[in-house]
Structure 1
């Protein structure tokens, strides 16, 4: 089929080719096919990308806050006609080399995307996903598990369910409430007024028949779009789709395109509440002003607004960001500030976090006056040029972080979902060219756009979200009242029916899948994987007398520079200060330049610039502590950029008291912003910190204790802090600290080495760096059972349980690595997620740090989940492990190295392997250990973990006070004081 010459109007397998588009940005051609009978559209981008990608897309408009679209997204991938297992998604995940596999609910659509670099794996994923979306079983038990179910504990009723618990966690997040409330307030007469993810108070009102009806309404092929991307034959999958799923389905008229909101004639104001722990200050509110701007299908409006967001809010030196900070009304701007392309009309939000709600009108005036001043004075031409250059850089760079197909899909849906062709919005380069033409024709194009779409636009809303200690109680009381209402309506006979349903659900959970059902799911075999590792090769030279490692590869005229400075000689106090120092260097002036000028220059010279502390254990058991400076720049800018970075490291005004105060507020709010979605990561970092000095230091520098340290700093501490910052700057200026790494096009190497040589020689020679011996009382000396409890405003928990693995490089540790994969995808998923209702659960072994961590995310339980983990682990110490579990875990573990990496990703990975002395020989040894794994070795690995737990373990829980209080009755380990997080 790939040899065929295609022309518009061609018919194949029930489809007609209706569009062919050249897509130079993706080095490919797009083919749009439409199924003649159902109207289903398939858009295939054919190019040489080896990461094969597909996604099904359904327009799913919510009509209430029950979260049907979200629950359905979970349930669709939970068994289908051809693959009748309870969770083919997880079954596939166990034995796949996928590089992306998910399902996602948006405000007006649901996506089912997956990607893999292996064609056989891609075909397996496609088959299972296709049957899932077109022939799901949608069992009532699945609805109870993934969505919501009534549970009776005798006399009383309460609710459980994965999505229900997920949204309990989401509804506890202040920033999430700010963002969602803003959009809902802007579009009250559209489906965007409803919460597509679900409001817990409304999720409990959803019934199974409503759920089935929603599927029937929106999951017909007539409402489906399929996106294919990569090195596949043209027309791939069309015959399969028509023969197996489409030819007998007929056509259905589905009203699924979100309508436009009716324009407002005057601004509105609304107020909401969010959870707050007792003791938080009144400055725990957010005030944002939000606008409804142009349609997302207007590509010029899209790139105009997205570029403006970068210009106005791209960093704390950006003009609108800086104006809001300088006002002193709040601690920082709201992290929800910016724009979104996930709605038909693009919302633009800007405002304050950490503000007194009584100052809402002052905040509104500040925002509007700041915008008016910016428009009147005009945007700085250098800033505009720098933002446009950064945008061009992003187009030139080979991207990473997500499959190229997913990035292309997201762009195409901006038009495709609103009944334009997918090619109408898939490319970005022409948009940037059009924007530049507009600016040439009218240098005040941005200012005029802001005047029309912001200042003169009455379709805007002032949103205040106030912290309220009673917020969660009101939510809990509302759900409890509804449960009581249901109980009264059911009566005794109905309660018995609920009890029978609970028994039926328990049986469903416990019976598992039959061997016959499991045999239907297609798997890879180990023989499908390549048997070698990709070597970590470098050229090594000296530059300025220091090591320079070069990794030549195709980078499309971009240089990725990593500069490490050894900080092993720093004291405990100096290390504790370093994260703040790295933030300050990136948020202050330099020499004669203001912070605004520095930020603008960095944006002009680099595609990105970061400075952070990197630390961990090396393969030879040495602690690695470095300050890592990462930058990427065009080859033509390399010399100027390196010189500017060197000046910044030496001349940054790190004693500027005004900037120190702003950075302190910015850093504190960053922690507060990330806590809800990263609470399990904070718990894991904290739990592991007792096992070695370097892990303890890592937690002190980037975990909860860094947050507590920052929170304790006051205005009185700032002068001393300024002196300490200067001292750090001077101490770092020593060329003997340096190791440099470059990834670049091979032909550019000769011109880059002299630049690095001059960069290194620009540092002073202060003699060798002598590592300082640091010891900490909190680090285990071989026997500790640590329990730490922290409070945050949430009705669910985030917990981590840590213990030591066996020695790095041992067979037992390799077994523990594989055990983590097996446990996460099998027993723990089934028991803690499926039965317990946690949204997420994982078990992982950190090879380098020699720590095994079990963690849960948005979990309605605490003790029950920990007990389940210990019980499951104990079974793996004695019982034979299914050979298929082992093979699947090996495929996932070994196959993870097949993921295509962008030059930027490859660069930092290869440099870290050098820093931590992870040799190819060690990597190959681990690969061989894993491939030689069997049940006996896994048993020994589990036994070693259990023995380790008897000697030393660590348990950290972040949860709301109500849940902690309820759970302490189940185990005395929780009957201890908890620490309130500094929110």
Structure 2
């Protein structure tokens, strides 16, 4: 028993130790060995080596350096991994909520000294084979990372990134576009009303329509009230219009200096080349300064504090009468004490993770709320850590009760500690996290703690109206001081910006790869199929075994389809065999890296109206625990528990809350899903499983006073899904040394589940890949336009068109067209002119071509932009360079790194073999100008195309008055 828990907690720092590996090159000149040759004190291109450390557990060597002239700090992680990463970070510490670091992040990517064309960042997405490109603004830092597997591409991107952050143009027009501006609603009509516009302005309006984001922001601001954490680094919408262009430039001068920078590189490319390029292209032009951006410690309070905030009601919340949130947060110690932070993060996990944790038992299981508060556990993202615990989805009258439970639970933990078995399970989890290899590796609390904040949040019926009124008042104050000359200048500047946005940009100054730089063939992933259909893929998995199985849904009655996602969510969480749900959770933590079941809707690669429907079983474990993992699966197949209504209700409420919370964050995905519903049978089922249809179903289920009907449905579903006769295919990825033992254990598991079938049917219905496809005979595609009235200040828009499946000769052309339309037309219309945070086109594997926008202030204008984009494509007003850039962008996704755990999964899940991928690759190379014009004419012509449109957004009378729209 661990009893010494009085100094319990500091922020859990995401210590997941994920390894990554794609191409292991264990030669005498490996990256790790080359890095070990550096010596402390050695001078390299203006840098001095400070420390060299081998980290064998992660297969890397770390080299720490300092730039002599500016003091910039540099960390290099040398590893035999071809997916090389670069990142430069700046400590950015705003003292107001105008969003200056966020707007600066956007604006520096709008052109630089060496690359003055507008938006070089977005243009490089189409001129490189990057596996990742982005930029992030956090509470106290801003970072600019990219990764690529191509050495020349790395140099190109590094040049663009260095010039962008250190020598940006910072033009006033870019500030207006990306930050905020006053402009006529119709820029070409001086008599139209003046309104606020700007990408970040609209992005943050959308961000604060997410109640979880709103609550988390308030919590941080109020727990750290005396410095930079007390403001909104991303920008509070009503404060953003207080920022001036001059303030933006000054913030860049002080914060984006090498003396305030941290560089990080990772991978197998030589460090010396990176240092040389960084020195020559950037750092040699600077002298050391004192940026004075340090974050001071938060003065500790002498007594606890309480506060309250309001939010908008959520129409899709599981229980409309219980939408309150309450959380208690404690300020902890400095995160630079890594040992204490790590220890407290483990304690945090013991306190809140899983059904055996004390707070799960005291807060979740009594069903006082629907789930933990959105901020929960140890948080180490700020200078001083915090620990938070609370509930969402609770009634206002339960506020005092929840406070008392939290206080009592902490006292009980201090008194009783934790069971040894739970500590063991947590250490096992850490061991798995250290061994698991992903593809993005590069990327004191006690009852007497007086620095404690209790923050409550409740819905307010007129919250959105108040927000809109506040914005209107802010706008009025800006307008009332304008002279006629000011208004004329605003109009003229609006026209200038529109002209600049409409002008074709010359991107020839930017470096670019060529299509000839792309590998003509894909590497073959060797797999072996033995006996009953099991795919074995030998991979360097670092001592882990990954297991997957697909079970068909073809025999499931239609009336049970809506219940399948809930079944998948609860089947591994209600107990099985001789284990109740607490014991099951404990065994899963002790013996596996997790066990999950999820829905799968897999379109046929040859026919739009044919698809596979099923569930995917997935788990992983250390090699020594393979028998235990399959024993757990056997109990889930043979003896699952369904009759605990109280446990089921907890899981239903948590699931419904999670779905409701996700819409404001991923609204464009919900819009695309809904728009696809009437176009293909696979799209229809995907909406049933994961769209707004499922959100509404879970809301209705959560509102039921009696779950007997659900409890009766679950065994019926199990009879069809966890049925060896319907298990069509299994897959195992592990090391060659462990494959034989794993195969034997898998065979034993399959015999065990078959022996428990009363009808003793043959173990597998099918003996080859992808023979469980279902063709829906009576499905008739039809057009539907749907508007969902949602409590958002911005829109999510999609228009989706039925086209062709993966194997069709036109599929490759549509992929290239989607990428080209996004980069060359839609980005400018939807983001630059329209002010949406994002938008574009994408070609889906199910044969559906989707236009979309994200956090968009102008839904009708965006629909018009979609149609203008089609006209642009049909007209052929694009060059061979445009096509080549689109191909580079598509291939960067096609050739993205695949982790050892996921090798061969395209073949396993969708039946798409390496040979089919190679054929698709060849069709991508062959796409021409003529092909693109032809597919635009063939599939997007009005009167011929079959399409669906969906908009999620605020109440709009235009759609209500139009009988062609279904308004929900």
**TM-score normalized with structure 2 length:** 0.91
Q: 1:873 aligns with which of 865, 870, 873?
A: 870
Q: 2:813 aligns with which of 815, 834, 837?
A: 815
Matched, 1:10 2:47: no
Distance 1:343 1:386 in 2: 28
TM superposition shift of 1:311:
2.1
Distance 1:697 1:262 in 2: 54
Matched, 1:535 2:529: no
TM superposition shift of 1:26:
3.6
Q: Deviations over 1:314-371 (max 9, x none)?
A: 2344331232112332122223222322101112222111112343222211222122
TM superposition shift of 1:819:
0.6
Change (3 A) 1:557 1:7: closer
Q: Deviations over 1:41-100 (max 9, x none)?
A: 222222322111111111100110000000000111110010011011111101211111
Match of 1:327, SS state, is coil
Q: 1:223 aligns with which of 250, 260, 281?
A: 260
Match of 1:686, SS state, is helix
TM superposition shift of 1:6:
3.3
The aligned counterpart of 1:332 is: 371
Distance 2:277 2:686 in 1: 52
Distance 2:745 2:284 in 1: 64
TM superposition shift of 1:129:
0.2
Change (3 A) 1:773 1:30: closer
Q: 2:214 aligns with which of 177, 187, 210?
A: 177
Decide whether the 8 Å contact of 2:611 with 2:774 is kept in 1.
no
Q: 2:110 aligns with which of 78, 82, 94?
A: 78
Matched, 1:313 2:352: yes
The aligned counterpart of 1:428 is: none
The aligned counterpart of 1:427 is: none
Matched, 1:392 2:431: yes
TM superposition shift of 1:810:
2.9
The aligned counterpart of 1:440 is: none
The aligned counterpart of 1:485 is: 477
Matched, 1:459 2:451: yes
The aligned counterpart of 1:940 is: 934
Change (3 A) 1:279 1:718: closer
Q: 1:891 aligns with which of 888, 891, 898?
A: 888
Q: 1:374 aligns with which of 413, 418, 440?
A: 413
Decide whether the 8 Å contact of 2:365 with 2:647 is kept in 1.
no
Distance 2:316 2:166 in 1: 51
Change (3 A) 1:917 1:20: closer
Decide whether the 8 Å contact of 2:309 with 2:456 is kept in 1.
yes
The aligned counterpart of 1:203 is: 240
Change (3 A) 1:506 1:973: farther
The aligned counterpart of 2:824 is: 826
Change (3 A) 1:93 1:951: closer
The aligned counterpart of 2:289 is: 252
Distance 2:171 2:424 in 1: 56
Unpaired segments of 5 or more residues in structure 1?
A: 407-451
Matched, 1:618 2:604: yes
Decide whether the 8 Å contact of 2:678 with 2:783 is kept in 1.
no
TM superposition shift of 1:556:
1.1
Counterparts in 2 of 1:906-945, with a 5 A limit?
A: 906=903, 910-945=904-939
Distance 2:611 2:883 in 1: 33
Decide whether the 8 Å contact of 1:812 with 1:938 is kept in 2.
no
Change (3 A) 1:275 1:719: same
TM superposition shift of 1:288:
1.0
Farther off after superposition, 768-777 or 589-598: 768-777
TM superposition shift of 1:703:
1.2
Match of 1:215, SS state, is helix
Q: Deviations over 1:98-130 (max 9, x none)?
A: 111111001101001111011011111100000
Counterparts in 2 of 1:340-379, with a 5 A limit?
A: 340-379=379-418
TM superposition shift of 1:807:
4.9
Q: Deviations over 1:579-608 (max 9, x none)?
A: 111111122122332211111110111112
The aligned counterpart of 2:967 is: 978
TM superposition shift of 1:716:
4.5
Q: Deviations over 1:376-405 (max 9, x none)?
A: 3331221111011101111122233x2x22
Decide whether the 8 Å contact of 2:842 with 2:849 is kept in 1.
yes
TM superposition shift of 1:811:
2.9
Match of 2:810, SS state, is helix
Farther off after superposition, 709-718 or 794-803: 709-718
Q: 2:860 aligns with which of 852, 859, 863?
A: 863
Distance 2:178 2:337 in 1: 37
The aligned counterpart of 2:511 is: 522
Distance 1:749 1:3 in 2: 34
Change (3 A) 1:41 1:377: closer
Change (3 A) 1:851 1:4: closer
**TM-score normalized with structure 1 length:** 0.90
TM superposition shift of 1:609:
1.4
Matched, 1:212 2:249: yes
Farther off after superposition, 258-267 or 723-732: 723-732
TM superposition shift of 1:227:
1.0
Distance 1:878 1:810 in 2: 24
Matched, 1:242 2:230: no
Q: 1:160 aligns with which of 186, 193, 197?
A: 197
Change (3 A) 1:649 1:383: farther
Change (3 A) 1:744 1:948: farther
Matched, 1:756 2:756: no
Q: 1:233 aligns with which of 270, 274, 279?
A: 270
TM superposition shift of 1:706:
1.2
Farther off after superposition, 855-864 or 321-330: 321-330
Change (3 A) 1:308 1:235: same
Match of 1:598, SS state, is helix
Change (3 A) 1:725 1:6: closer
Farther off after superposition, 345-354 or 765-774: 765-774
Change (3 A) 1:508 1:49: same
TM superposition shift of 1:959:
0.8
The aligned counterpart of 1:446 is: none
Distance 2:567 2:651 in 1: 10
Q: Deviations over 1:789-823 (max 9, x none)?
A: 11222100011111111354333222111111111
Decide whether the 8 Å contact of 2:541 with 2:900 is kept in 1.
yes
Matched, 1:742 2:742: no
Match of 1:762, SS state, is helix
Q: 1:637 aligns with which of 625, 640, 658?
A: 625
Q: Deviations over 1:511-554 (max 9, x none)?
A: 2323xxx1110001112121111224311112xxx311100111
Decide whether the 8 Å contact of 1:317 with 1:595 is kept in 2.
no
TM superposition shift of 1:733:
4.4
Counterparts in 2 of 1:79-98, with a 5 A limit?
A: 79-98=111-130
Counterparts in 2 of 1:490-569, with a 5 A limit?
A: 490-514=482-506, 518-542=507-531, 546-569=532-555
The aligned counterpart of 1:270 is: 307
Match of 1:844, SS state, is strand
Farther off after superposition, 76-85 or 365-374: 365-374
How many positions carry a matched residue from both structures? 914
RMSD of the TM alignment (CA)?
Answer: 2.2
Unpaired segments of 5 or more residues in structure 2?
A: 1-30, 186-190, 767-771
User: Whose helix fraction is larger, Structure 1's or Structure 2's?
Assistant: 1
The aligned counterpart of 1:418 is: none
Change (3 A) 1:755 1:469: same
TM superposition shift of 1:29:
2.5
Q: Deviations over 1:921-943 (max 9, x none)?
A: 32222111111111110001111
Change (3 A) 1:53 1:292: same
Change (3 A) 1:99 1:775: closer
Decide whether the 8 Å contact of 1:689 with 1:695 is kept in 2.
yes
